[in-house]
Structures are given as C-alpha cells and as structure tokens.
Amino acid sequence: MKKIFLSVLLVCSILMSTSCIDKTKQTVTPTTSATVSTEHSYAMADATFDDALTLTADLWNGTDAYITLHKNVPYFLTADFFKYENGQLTMNCEYEHYPELDYLGRCGICYAMVCKDIMPTEPRGEIGMVKPTGWHTVRYDDLISDKYLYNRCHLIGYQLAGENANTSNLITGTRYLNVTGMLPFENMIDDYIEANPANHVFYRVSPVFKGDDLVAQGVIMEAYSIEDNGAGVQFCIFCPNVQPGIRIDYATGESYRTEAAPTETDWAETSYNYVLNENSKKIHRPDCSAVDSIAPENRTDSTRTYEELIEQGYTPCGICHPE
C-alpha cells in the first residue's frame, strides 16, 4: 500500500524529550503575520500539514521555486512542538534532532533551535562520501550553471547548525532546489541570527517522499523567530525538487531532458564544484580532460571553495586552470 514517508506522530512524541542541549524556557505568542514576500510564489493557504505531506513536484508551475503554505504560518505553532503553561505558549530551547534513516535509507523530519551556540565556527568539511538515496552523478552542462543535476542537500543547512556529513541530514536534491529554493530561506535565518545573536529561530525541514520513492518530491520548510514572535523570521513553504529542462524519475533518481529544455541562468552561484585527485593533490574542474584518468579511490568531488582547497594543501591543475 502506498504511503507517504514521514512519521509525524513519532516526531511529535519525541520532540520534547530528545536531542535537547538546554532546557531553558522561552515564551512565544502565535502570530499570523507573514514575513516572507509571496510576490514570486503561489499559495495553498488552506493546506493542512497532512495535506502538505502529500504534495508532489508536479505542482511546480515552471517559474516559482516555492509554494507558500498555511498563510505562511508554521504548522508547529499549533502542534505538539509548543504547549500552553500558565496561559502562555512555551517550548524547549536550543536543541537539534536528526532521526534515524528509514527502511529504505531515507531521511526524516529534521529540526533545530537555531542560535549562535550551534552555528559552525569553521568551514564545512567534505561530504562527497555520502550517497543519499536516489543519488546519481549526472551532468547537464548546457542546462545547469554548475553542470551537475544533483547536490547533497542539507535539510538543516550547514551554516545554521554545523552538521557536515550527517547522513540523517542529507538528501538527493537538484541544484535548483538547493540554491534557488532552499538557500534564500537559510540565508534569511543566518542573517537574522547574525543581526540578533542572542535570539533563536525554531526551524523544521520535512522531506516529502511518495510511497517508496528514493528521491524526495520536495521539502516543507518552516521557521519562526522566538523572541520577537515571528516578526524577524517566519515562513511556511514547500520547495519542489525540480530542475528546469529536466524530468526526474523520483522512484530511482534517473533523469532525462524534457522536449523543450530552457537554459538555466537566473540564480546566483554560491559555491564551486571541483574534482580532487587525492594522490597528486590536484584541483580539477569537473569538465577537465584529466578527470577521467583519476583512479576511483583517489577521486573526491568537492564543494569547497578554491581558496579553502589551496589553504588545505591542494594545487591547481595545469590543464584546466581552476583558479
């Protein structure tokens, strides 16, 4: 029988008792104000959380990277993540949770109380060894600015919680999902905490899988800034896991071109992908002619910046000149 993967009841039941770093209480008041512009999105105002867990990538309208849900108000404001005590809405503060992978090896709902205490203080490490369910290394050089279709997408972004190669926090996501869909909202939280270092943002990301599919249809992203009652950060959206010009088989991760494939040029590049030869310590561009001759055991696909690689002792290839 088909079923949507995401054990909502399990998550709610363990939320108040697991993965807590600190039990300090914070008081919040629910609000219906929307702090994320919906000018370039389309909305499903009356969708329940259960409805949201059945959304599919087919909803993508070919233009917008996300769908606004529930009038942009996080579902957890009225769920077991919060509870009333003495007439006030309270919750546990400063914690993270990354559930165990399911029977197919897929990620579940991840959440974190984002604050300065859990944010990283060093550059992200290598994650190329992680192969999330449905992973394929495939390129569409003329359609994707960074060439590769799939990224290892952090559900809770590294910049927010410092989780690096955590297999319970990485899904197979398109470059479009990672950079155009998720990154602007991750940056919003990051910028808010940088400007308000004593504050907290409760953040939940739910991958939506259809049946036994290995690749998620998309992710539900919800966030709420605690101390200012959502005035600084509040959103509730669904980002479909799609890529312009490419059709994806979510059951397996296989992909192919659509008949009318647009060229994707409308999002900012935020990182560079390189292929590393761990034997020679050379940095190669992914399309370098020397890449094919690298032995599999010596090859690492890296998303670190060129400057970081140089600092770590790597040197540029003399053929492709990645500098």
DSSP 7-21: -HHHHHHHHTTSSBS
Q: How much is the pLDDT for 248? A: 94
pLDDT exceeds 80 at position 46: no
Q: How much is the pLDDT for 271? A: 38
Summarize the confidence of residues 234-239 as an average pLDDT: 95
pLDDT, greater one: 85 or 99: 99
Amino acid symbol at 322? P
pLDDT exceeds 80 at position 198: yes
The DSSP annotation for 243-266 comes to BTTEEE-TTT--EEE-SS------
CB 92 within 8 A of CB 16: yes
Q: Please tell me the distance from the alpha carbon of residue 227 to that of residue 112, in angstroms, as a whole number.
A: 16
Q: How much is the pLDDT for 81? A: 57
Q: How confident is the model over 153-197, as pLDDT tens digits?
A: 999 999 999 998 999 999 999 999 999 999 999 999 999 999 999
pLDDT exceeds 80 at position 82: no
Q: How much is the pLDDT for 32? A: 31
Determine the length of the chain: 323
Summarize the confidence of residues 66-80 as an average pLDDT: 82
Summarize the confidence of residues 4-20 as an average pLDDT: 32
Q: How confident is the model over 206-224, as pLDDT tens digits?
A: 999 999 999 999 999 999 9
Confidence band of 61 (pLDDT split at 50, 70, 90): confident
Confidence band of 299 (pLDDT split at 50, 70, 90): confident
Q: Please tell me the distance from the alpha carbon of residue 183 to that of residue 172, in angstroms, as a whole number.
A: 15
Interacting residues of 11 by C-beta distance below 8 A, sequence separation 6+: 97, 99, 108, 109, 111
Question: What is the set of domains in the chain, with CATH numbers?
Answer: 4-257 (3.40.570.10), 274-316 (no CATH)
Closest to 181 in 3D by CA, of 214, 216, 132, 218? 218
Q: Name residue, tokens 């859990």.
A: 118
Structural tokens at position 143:
């359609």
Q: Give Rg (Cα) of the chain.
A: 20
Backbone angles phi, psi at 319, to 5 degrees: -90, -50
Confidence band of 41 (pLDDT split at 50, 70, 90): very low
